[in-house]
Amino acid sequence: MSAISEPASAASARIDPSADVSGSTIGAGSSVWHLAQVREGAVIGENCVIGRGAYIGSGVVVGDGCKIQNYALVYEPARLESGVFVGPAVVFTNDTYPRAVNPDGSPKSASDWTPVGVTVREGASIGARATCVAPVVVGRWATVAAGAVVTKDVPDFALVAGVPARRIGWVGPAGLPLEKKGESWVCPRTGARFIESDGALKEETRA
């Protein structure tokens, strides 16, 4: 990963002057737009887009070719693999049992809780205003529908929707719902074929 660590040297990345990216690492060809905040220690890969008002927490790792849309909140220690799409106003949580104060009434500090992160695998898409409750894992090329609340791991290629999110179909890398044809699931755009077994989907191997 080719990267820079300070906005002033961002010859190979576009960083809007209103963005706050001090102490983070931004890959070549990436864009960080108006009022976005990329916290110290965060690592953004190459050719990524960080939209207006997005928040990327300390130590978050974002792979190459990701798009994080306006006002998404990606709290540490989230991990996004390459090619992930995060829609507008998506929230990735990081506190399993949130409280503002301890039982004795004292304010909670960083030492009073351990952050847990959301993991999003290669090529997956998270729809607008969806919430992923840590420590869930969203599988490869899965799609989370707009407004869904994800409280359990999402299998590879799954299409999930609702509150809480449940699987309502399968999708391929092209993003379209797969169609059932005989024993296979087929992408209507690419013709790629998949086999379902025990609640999981795998690409068919060709001779």
Over residues 50-81, the pLDDT tens digits come to 999 999 999 999 999 999 999 999 999 999 99
Task: With a cut of 60, say whether residue 5 has pLDDT above it.
Answer: no
Angular region, 50: left φ>0, alpha ψ -120 to 50, beta rest: beta
The pTM score is 0.92
Mean pLDDT of the chain: 93
pLDDT at 11: 55
CATH class of 3-171: mainly beta
